[in-house]
Structure 1
């Protein structure tokens, strides 16, 4: 979905396909027909954007096979779908029964992460529409914070230099530019925008930048305006925005019965009390802690954007709106790649979980419609 910013830029809005479990080309093509086409039709738009997730296995196959890349591009074109951004955070098995910390491996100290990301870049230059200004890939914020030592940091520095060089060679070969965006997340080496300015201080600013996930920003209790201004002062581009909302619990003691239904075994749900005075690596740890009960919580649990969770819980959509306001609501758009990334539909409490592919497609379309309306309110037009 494309919108026009008042400054003349095209802002691309997509939905993140890491909500789907397919990890081979046939499965990816099948999910286009099951979900993406019905969503496009329901939204009444001629063109729907995808933030495509490709596991490392299928990425390696596609990067090595131009025929397969052309097939995927034809399948996208035939359905009125376009890809300018890829979600390169999960390496694989993102819908295994238990994911938790495994999603942070391999990290950027492991050469496998560099190979995977450059494979994605090679694929993206063939999937991007001809008139796209550039492509983007979001990736993990270097790695999980523990253990993290000097040798790992040195290997990461070398990997990021090699990444920038690989992207430069790809652009010279194809004429298409791709940027990679590191996504701060609670519990990781880069949790917030301040740490991003430190750990990314020496990177190639033309090709590497930051992905601002608005749910993660909320969980770290960052002010969106201050966060974006901090990145701008450091010269770090906001390459991509994950349009997402976290779970907020104003009174954890009073909401204990309801919030317990969100503690589930697949994904990690980092929990922070107000101002990050107390930090927990998962929701069940916060629920078990006596010291966590007296202050509001924000929980890394991506909730549907268009529907508030059941009271007394709420979502961090006010932070989301403020973030979009500072990023694309001003006279100049600070970012042109937006991706709605609610990957948790399948682990929502049973009464709020879609019961069929049709219900899931309708829910995701409603999220995109909500986001489109929010962007219209900020002055963007289709």
Structure 2
């Protein structure tokens, strides 16, 4: 059965007390509302907390017991944000420290130690998603070598853990627009000659995939043909703007322009029959002044899966469906871990459904129900 989780990076917490409070305040109410005995969590642990837990087996057992008592299971961790993910301004800080910085390796090792003790008995492996090396600048050949060395060191540690525990923990590198590994094609080209595919693969974030204008079926095939695998899917949808030059679209986008997170924008030139290059801007305000706005835009703003944005905006849930369909056709056995990752509830426009704990709990539950009903044609899914 394919585990379906929701990512807890939507909730602010920087210590164990905060994480445990999340379980009561949000996760258990979501489980009850979904109507399932067991709910998957894609747990986010800031680096400071991951280090404390990795150093204390008793605390790890306590966290596992608290999860079990509430009918919650953890197959996957999100180790992309290092900390402070709900600061007033995050923007480029989410890409630091990068994979050339030893702190990134240490954080990921800590997460692997924690996850090994949280995995339920039904898990065949655990997954940890991570950033695509760094923001694109500055980066040079020396950085390439340093990042490859760090992943090799991590792989040796993961191999030792797998031999000791009987189940592997696998790293899922998550391409993102604007980063060193901007697209899945970039990630495949960089990873394939450098990593051990038993322990390092891809996190396929379907919002990022949509923003890159990549074809989902071709993308999944390219990953498979390169000898890599999709370790984890972050089920997410981007904003689409079909006529970005129009006044109505620009007014609608203004509602999604906010100071906390970076919202990269891409526009593909050409036509459907003969697509040209993909043009980019690093945030919505820049896109409004820098892009030609002759063709549709896709915006890195994770929008709720079940709730279509008001016209003239729409969402790229068709890309998410296409990616899952391609995986069902390609992967033998169970699908990768699937994590609903809409971390933007707190910065959504009021008209899009933001509004307190009750709205958030209902929204997450609705997304999970939508995903279970809409995405999986042939495989069983556990929520």
TM-score scaled by length of structure 1: 0.95
1:335 positional shift: 3.2
**C-alpha contact 2:347 2:354 (8 A) present in aligned 1:** no
Distance 1:342 1:59 in 2: 22
1:49 positional shift: 0.1
Higher mean C-alpha deviation, range 346-355 or range 68-77: 346-355
| 1:144-193 CA-partner distances (Å, limit 9, x unpaired) | 11110111111111101001001112223333310001001000111112
Supply the RMSD in Å over aligned alpha carbons. 1.4
After the TM superposition, which residues 17-96 of structure 1 pair with which residues of structure 2 at under 5 Å, given as runs?
A: 17-96=8-87
Aligned equivalent of 2:280:
279
| 1:72-114 CA-partner distances (Å, limit 9, x unpaired) | 0000000000001000100000000000011000010101000
1:329 positional shift: 5.3
**C-alpha contact 2:265 2:282 (8 A) present in aligned 1:** yes
After the TM superposition, which residues 166-185 of structure 1 pair with which residues of structure 2 at under 5 Å, given as runs?
A: 166-185=157-176
Distance 1:42 1:144 in 2: 38
Aligned equivalent of 1:249:
241
Distance 1:146 1:312 in 2: 34
1:331 positional shift: 7.4
Aligned equivalent of 2:341:
341
| 1:180-236 CA-partner distances (Å, limit 9, x unpaired) | 010010001111121112210220111000000001000000000000000111001
After the TM superposition, which residues 305-316 of structure 1 pair with which residues of structure 2 at under 5 Å, given as runs?
A: 305-316=305-316
Distance 2:238 2:126 in 1: 27
Q: How many residues align?
A: 372
TM-score scaled by length of structure 2: 0.94
Aligned equivalent of 1:217:
209
1:260 to 251, 254, 257: 254
**C-alpha contact 1:269 1:299 (8 A) present in aligned 2:** yes
Distance 1:261 1:11 in 2: 36
Gaps of 5+ in 1: 1-9
| 1:239-291 CA-partner distances (Å, limit 9, x unpaired) | 000000000000012211111111110000000002553200111100122x4
Gaps of 5+ in 2: 270-276
Aligned equivalent of 1:5:
none
1:355 positional shift: 1.8
1:48 positional shift: 0.2
SS of the counterpart of 1:301? strand
1:292 positional shift: 2.6
Distance 2:7 2:17 in 1: 18
Residues 232 and 32 (structure 1), Cα distance of their counterparts in 2 relative to 1, 3 Å cut: same
Distance 2:101 2:78 in 1: 19
| 1:286-336 CA-partner distances (Å, limit 9, x unpaired) | 0122x4322110000000000101111000011111111111356735732
